[in-house]
Amino acid sequence: MKVLVIGGDGYCGWATALYLSNRGYEVGILDSLVRRHWDNELGVETLTPIALIQQRLQRWQDLTGKSIDLFIGDITNYEFLSKTLHQFQPNALVHFGEQRSAPFSMIDREHAVLTQVNNVVGTLNLLYAMREDFPDCHLVKLGTMGEYGTPNIDIEEGYITIEHNGRKDTLPYPKQPGSMYHLSKVHDSHNIHFACRIWGLRATDLNQGVVYGVLTEETGMDELLINRLDYDGVFGTALNRFCIQAAIGHPLTVYGKGGQTRGFLDIRDTVRCVELAIANPAQPGEFRVFNQFTEQFSVGDLALMVKNAGNAMGLKVEINHLDNPRVEKEEHYFNAKNTKLLDLGLQPHLLSDSLLDSLLNFAIKYQKRVDHKQIMPKVSWHRN
Ligand SMILES: O=c1ccn([C@@H]2O[C@H](COP(=O)(O)OP(=O)(O)O[C@H]3O[C@H](CS(=O)(=O)O)[C@@H](O)[C@H](O)[C@H]3O)[C@@H](O)[C@H]2O)c(=O)[nH]1
């Protein structure tokens, strides 16, 4: 089975490409490498030193004998995309190739437009390329739990059955995203759903929660295969940031009250979830939605867990409640379903003391690379 991983040079994409290659899939990576460019523009570097994509792939081949084809280019360029698909002939497309940071999308108008054009046009191009020449190919698209927002009712997996004035229907679950980035994913979901309904394409939208961790079996094999681990205020995400902050003695940056609750998962489960989706494809015409997370936590609870784990290792860890740079509910109901991937056989790696220890130790190992100026959030959702 041939799988093209779009965005295969990024945090989730790199881990997934190696995992699938190790499991015997024929893997190609398509990536524009723009994420490395955005790091340069923002003046930030991931905690871990990441090798050039070509060196990474050479090392993978030397270690395992498995080769991964590389296509460098941008899927917003339809000609490049179409040429690549014809060359590679994929059976499944795994699409991580989007601008994925909420703060980045909220910097200013330019970054909002960049995010939405990049994400929506890239995915639209994919849908048209599939419609033209690869109508049977299965699209596995990374969506986000943030598409739903934080409604005061249970969150279902993509659809909700509603009774209204004596009639009943199962309809797309209402969306109330919290950033221009999260909105771009909602727009994608609508476009993909349309392509499935009208053209009979098949797709799975993986509404992923916040990913944490850095090691997978494959990326841990060699220093040159090491994954990125972002800690800065733009691309760093909650738990990873807290561990790195604890390791360098920076107070943990809880935004506001800290009751913000989200779905979380270990990166070792991200790669497995993608494989489960590929191995059990959607039917022609089906737009399938899986909620891809394993546990729910509030950011305040996560900060406490990191503080306790850090204290146990002899680190002094403080928790700071900062003025929230985002506009979001800080105390709210949150109960999201996540049974579909479990039904397909996902065995979650739940957040444990040993994972926190390993992440903290990882952060301590690379602490010299941390630029302390990049920790505090600088992007505000507020009007002024
Ligand atoms: O130092 C921090 C960082 C974040 N938060 C809070 O933690 C929550 C999550 O923020 P995040 O930065 O960890 O994650 P988010 O911006 O939601 O985006 C990340 O997680 C999303 C899944 S979800 O959150 O929408 O379920 C993915 O789609 C995105 O690509 C990924 O960057 C927010 O309430 C935020 O205010 C803090 O309190 N302190």
Instruction: Using most ligand atoms within 8 A of CB, pick from 157, 184, 255 the residue to mutate for ligand 1.
Output: 255
Helix (H) or strand (E) holding 28: strand 26-31
Q: Is 204 a catalytic residue?
A: no
Ligand 1, atom nearest to 258 Cα? 38
Which residue of the set 46, 144, 237, 261 is catalytic? 144
Say if residue 199's pLDDT is above 90: yes
Q: Is 173 a catalytic residue?
A: no
Domain architecture of the chain: domains with CATH: 2-374 (3.40.50.720)
SS3 state of residue 256: coil
pLDDT tens digit string along 260-296? Answer: 999 999 999 999 999 999 999 999 999 999 999 999 9
Query: What pLDDT is stored for residue 384 in this prediction?
Result: 76
Query: What pLDDT is stored for residue 314 in this prediction?
Result: 97
pLDDT tens digit string along 140-159? Answer: 999 999 999 999 999 999 99
Amino acid making up residue 324: N
Average confidence (pLDDT) over 346-355: 96
Q: What percent of the chain has pLDDT above 90?
A: 100
CA distances from 69 to 17, 28, 60, 113, 315 (A): 11, 4, 12, 31, 43
Beta-strand pair 92-95/69-72:
unpaired
Mean pLDDT of the chain: 98
pLDDT tens digit string along 200-255? Answer: 999 999 999 999 999 999 999 999 999 999 999 999 999 999 999 999 999 999 99
Q: What percent of the chain has pLDDT above 70?
A: 100
Contact 219, 290 (CB under 8 A): no
Query: What pLDDT is stored for residue 42 in this prediction?
Result: 97
Which residue of the set 16, 19, 148, 185 is catalytic? 185
Q: Is 76 a catalytic residue?
A: no
Instruction: Using most ligand atoms within 8 A of CB, pick from 210, 324, 327 the residue to mutate for ligand 1.
Output: 210
pLDDT tens digit string along 295-341? Answer: 999 999 999 999 999 999 999 999 999 999 999 999 999 999 999 99
Average confidence (pLDDT) over 354-379: 97
Count Cα atoms within 13 angstroms, Cβ side, for 230: 21
Rounded to the nearest 10°, the torsion over CA 84, 66, 56, 357 is 120
Task: Indicate if ligand 1 lies below 6 Å from the C-beta of 366.
Answer: no
Please determine, for the modelled complex, whether the ipTM score is greater than 0.95. yes
